[in-house]
Amino acid sequence: MELAVKVYRITSSFPKPEQYGLTSQMRRAAVSVGSNIAEGHRRSNPDFARYLTMALGSLAELETQVEISRRIEYLSREVYDDLLDEMNQLGRQLTTLHHCVTDSMPKPATNNQQPVTDRQHPTTDSQ
């Protein structure tokens, strides 16, 4: 949520014509990160893992939008670096959480039998 608040504050200084463009997209992506984590947390582990994946996707969108903002000089180098550091840290945390959630899910039972392929035919007594 801190990232979303920071993005709202930063984008408030973007030019007015960007209000329905880059400003809106950045805000939606930033809010989506926290929203997906919160919604997924109330669900089962497989769903939670899926929502964490969506949060990571939203974070990647935001990273792209921040890069665009820097290239068109809406962000100073200092603000850009600060946002990038925060997004990288959050990305690492989300990835670790995703691994923890998926590692705690029950693994499907494995069948120890070898699959039959065209080159591997079972032998029978009649041959």
pLDDT band at 102 (very low <50, low <70, confident <90, very high): confident
Helices and strands (DSSP H and E) totals, the chain: 4, 0
Give residue 52's pLDDT. 95
Q: What are phi and psi of 109, to 5 degrees?
A: -65, 140
> Please, what's the largest Cα pairwise distance for the chain?
83
Domains in the chain: ranges and CATH: 2-103 (1.20.1440.60)
Give residue 42's pLDDT. 87
Q: Residue range 78-103: average pLDDT?
A: 94
Per-residue pLDDT of 12-61, as tens digits, reads 999 998 888 999 999 999 999 999 999 998 888 788 899 999 999 999 99
